[in-house]
């Protein structure tokens, strides 16, 4: 059995216990605050928002360098990994996969398989988690890649945000949608559309209604009768995250429910106070 290593970028936001258990390697995107640049993995949300408060304007983000990916790949090969599966943020919104592909071309071995999650945050994270579990179970790299190609279409992500301004300024969403949201003071629900771009799934008048709308999508998915892995996500609102986690655990005890915090790269685009769900069938 060939040894398989899993790589993801930092926007997957899996918790340390999962990363350690499955030895998932994380390559960080960069967060630019004023004149300073930080690898996302070295910047907590608390420090990020503190630094952001000291500058005028917004932070920006940038993809990892080719060198960072190459360093990660070569380190894994040196540790005896024979095949690498590298899973990343949607290529429709980031050049991260391009950096990974260039690093693959420069690597000492060609056994690197790059996969576009067509998503971000836990929409990416749960795919890396799944791949790592399959590798641990002894599946081949071909089998894992085939399963990922199927599971990606059953993985859903919904993010409730307070404003679309950050996404508009960062060029991740159209100005017209952002303007309408601001004028009507609505709570937009974001998702990744069929072309793997960030889009507005729905627009409602309150956070509670937005949460119910997302829950309706979860209920629809659970009606299949399959067991699901459900991930609650939040940006810098840990207390609210725990409330949502406990609500779902109580309502759906037969499903796996976990809580995760999205970091500064996602925070740059959706702002503080954003929250939502990612879910897909599991085991798969």
- Reduce the DSSP state of residue 173 to 3 states and report it: coil
Please determine, for residue 179, whether its predicted confidence score (pLDDT) is greater than 60.
no
The band of 176, judged by pLDDT with boundaries at 50, 70 and 90, is very low
Q: Which residues contact 30 (CB under 8 A, 6 or more apart)?
A: 37, 38, 39, 40, 61, 62, 63, 64
| Segment 228-280, tens digit of pLDDT | 999 999 999 999 999 999 999 999 999 999 999 999 999 998 888 999 999 99
Please determine, for residue 188, whether its predicted confidence score (pLDDT) is greater than 80.
yes
Where along the chain do its domains lie? 4-153, 154-281
| Pairing label, strands 36-39, 4-9 | unpaired
> Domain 4-153 has what CATH class?
alpha beta
Residue % of the chain over a pLDDT of 90 = 83
pTM, rounded to two decimals = 0.93
State the pLDDT at residue 172. Answer: 52
Please determine, for residue 182, whether its predicted confidence score (pLDDT) is greater than 60.
no
Q: Which residues contact 176 (CB under 8 A, 6 or more apart)?
A: none
> Domain 154-281 has what CATH class?
alpha beta
| Pairing label, strands 60-62, 83-88 | unpaired
State the pLDDT at residue 174. Answer: 55
Average pLDDT value for residue range 83-109 = 98
Per-position b or e across 198-228, b if 16+ CB within 10 A of its CB = bbbbbbbeeeeebbebbbebbeebbeeeeeb
H helices, E strands: number in the chain = 11, 13
């Amino acid at each position: 059995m060939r040894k398989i290593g899993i790589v993801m970028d930092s926007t997957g936001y899996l918790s340390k216990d999962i990363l350690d258990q499955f030895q998932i390697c994380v390559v960080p995107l960069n967060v630019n605050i004023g004149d300073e640049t930080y690898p996302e993995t070295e910047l907590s949300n608390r420090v990020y928002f503190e630094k952001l408060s000291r500058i005028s304007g917004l932070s920006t983000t940038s993809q990892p360098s080719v060198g960072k990916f190459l360093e990660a790949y070569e380190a894994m090969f040196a540790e005896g990994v024979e095949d690498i599966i590298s899973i990343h943020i949607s290529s429709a919104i980031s050049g991260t996969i391009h950096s990974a592909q260039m690093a693959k071309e420069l690597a000492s071995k060609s056994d690197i398989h790059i996969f576009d999650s067509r998503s971000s945050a836990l929409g990416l994270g749960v795919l890396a988690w799944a791949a790592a579990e399959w590798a641990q179970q002894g599946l081949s790299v071909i089998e894992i890649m085939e399963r990922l190609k199927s599971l990606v279409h059953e993985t859903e992500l919904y993010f409730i945000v307070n404003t679309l301004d950050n996404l508009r300024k960062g060029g991740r969403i159209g100005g017209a949608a952002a303007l309408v949201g601001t004028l009507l003071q609505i709570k937009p629900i974001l998702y990744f559309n069929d072309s793997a771009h960030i889009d507005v799934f729905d627009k409602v008048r309150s956070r509670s209604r937005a949460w119910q709308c997302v829950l309706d999508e979860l209920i629809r998915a659970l009606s299949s009768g399959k067991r699901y892995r459900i991930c609650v996500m939040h940006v810098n609102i840990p207390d609210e995250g725990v409330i949502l986690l406990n609500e779902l655990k109580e309502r759906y005890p037969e499903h796996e429910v976990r809580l995760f915090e999205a970091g500064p790269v996602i925070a740059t685009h959706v702002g503080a106070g954003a929250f939502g769900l990612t879910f897909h069938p599991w085991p798969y």
